[in-house]
Amino acid sequence: MNPDKRGMFGKFGGKFVPETLMNALAELENCYRKCIKEKSFRDELNYYLHEYAGRPTPLYYAERLSHKLGHKIYLKREDLLHTGAHKINNTIGQILLARRMGKKRIIAETGAGQHGVATATVSAMFGIKCEVYMGEEDIHRQNLNVFRMNLLGANVINVKSGSRTLKDAMNEAIRDWVTNVRHTHYILGSVGGPHPYPMIVRDFQKIIGQEAKKQILKKEGKLPDYLVACVGGGSNSIGLFYNFLKDRKVKLIGVEAGGLGIRTGKHAARFKGGQVGVLHGSKSYVLQDENGQISTTHSVSAGLDYAGVGPEHSYLFEKGRIQYDAVSDKEAVEAFTFLCRSEGIIPALESAHAVAYVIKNHKKLGRNKLIIINLSGRGDKDVQVVGDYIS
């Protein structure tokens, strides 16, 4: 569904931002609504998605994984996209919008660094100045991506406030935007944040599910039983799920970061331990304490290590259309190595959560089910983290 005029998905979403940004959000929404109706804009977007990013991505039959688990499992290979994750679908779209709006500077937040790399990439391609906010903790654990961003000419700004992860990087990006809003476009990387971002980012990501649907119908002649994707802010999952929302028989499963276990409090499972609140401009499920202070989260995967979640997810959670579950750090790392050995694919630790869910619940899912897992990114960036974790 599309959000209402105020940007609400039911009771979730909205624009809870300082007044300074309200006009920029309106400007962005107007630009987006106008552009998306123009054939020339859509052609340009499709051109870059196809020629530059490498779409469409394959829907790969994971034969050995399927045999081991007793299901027919396909992987949607977003990891094969240029820059190594689905994030580029959105950054190409948004950089085209930024150009139409005449913005001279790009900023972004990043957790795992994939969105930062994708933003740095499109900024380099169009010769626009780019600065990326990244938490110190994430800079440390995703150092390869920091190096990549620097190579691409972006300035990575080390965020040392709060828990020094994605949440804090986003605070700093918003502070920058409040200050430089007149000439800067903020390329937000997920389906969170104030309206219109959750709608725009979803629309740029929904191509994942559009392709997957065509591909599975061609290969199998029927719709899948399950779609499984990891949920940090929620862009790769909504991207895969969106085109299947009306196919009521297709079960949609979002996998959150269970960290060290829900009971320990060291996790990022918003739908297990969160309550409705407002963070970074939208109303949604948020991990918070009894005074409304945002909790610090934990996940082995930087891209899922976030206290909030996109508002459309909260809406679909309460409607019961998407089921959410969590897997632990340990299960995710095991799935990571399992996929490496069984399929010769090194997945991002984020995507490994989706794989882990299927491995863990393969009996519960029934028998011989047709499953698509969104392999949202590749895991080169995580090799060091996994190495450290195992030893």
Partner 1 sequence: MNRIDRKFAELRKASRKGFVLYLTAGDPTMSDSFKIISQVEKAGVDILELGVPFSDPLADGPTIQRASSRSLKHRTSMKDVLNLVKRLRKGGIEVPLVIFTYYNPVLKYGLKRFISDCSDNGVDGALILDLPHDEAGEYVLSASEKDIKTIFLITPTTPERRIRDIVKVSSGFIYCVSRTGVTGARKDLSGEAPSIVKKIKRHTKLPVAVGFGISTAKQVKKVSGYCDAVVVGSAAVKKIEENINSKDIGKSVGRYVAALTKGLT
**Which residues carry out catalysis?**
87, 109, 376
CB of 288 to partner 1, least distance (A): 7
In this structure, is the dihedral angle defined by the CA atoms of residues 344, 349, 355 and 360, taken in order, positive or negative? positive
Token code pair at residue 379:
């895991």
Nearer to partner 1, 16 or 338 (CB): 16
Token code pair at residue 161:
């406030």
Side-chain half-sphere exposure of 275, counting CA atoms within 13 A: 8
The 3 state secondary structure assigned to 280-300 is CCEEEEECECCCCCECCCCCC
CB of 135 to partner 1, least distance (A): 13
What is the distance in angstroms between the CA of the first residue and the CA of the last residue of the chain? 46
Burial 113-123 (b: 16+ CB within 10 A, else e): bbbbbbbbbbb
241 to 47, 225, 228: CA distances (angstroms): 24, 12, 9
Nearer to partner 1, 18 or 366 (CB): 18
- The candidate with the shortest Cα–Cα distance to 324, out of 295, 300, 304, is 304
Token code pair at residue 314:
């909260």
CB of 382 to partner 1, least distance (A): 27
Are 243 and 87 spatial neighbours (Cβ–Cβ below 8 Å)? no
Nearer to partner 1, 85 or 187 (CB): 187
Token code pair at residue 61:
């039959």
Q: Which residues of the chain form contacts with partner 1 (CB under 8 A)?
A: 6, 14-24, 161-162, 167-168, 171, 174-175, 178-182, 275-281, 286, 288, 290-294
CB of 6 to partner 1, least distance (A): 6
CB of 22 to partner 1, least distance (A): 5
What lies within 8 Å, CB to CB, of 213 at 6+ separation is 223, 243, 244
CA distance linking residue 352 with residue 301, whole number of Å: 9
CB of 233 to partner 1, least distance (A): 15
Token code pair at residue 233:
């802010």
Nearer to partner 1, 133 or 204 (CB): 133
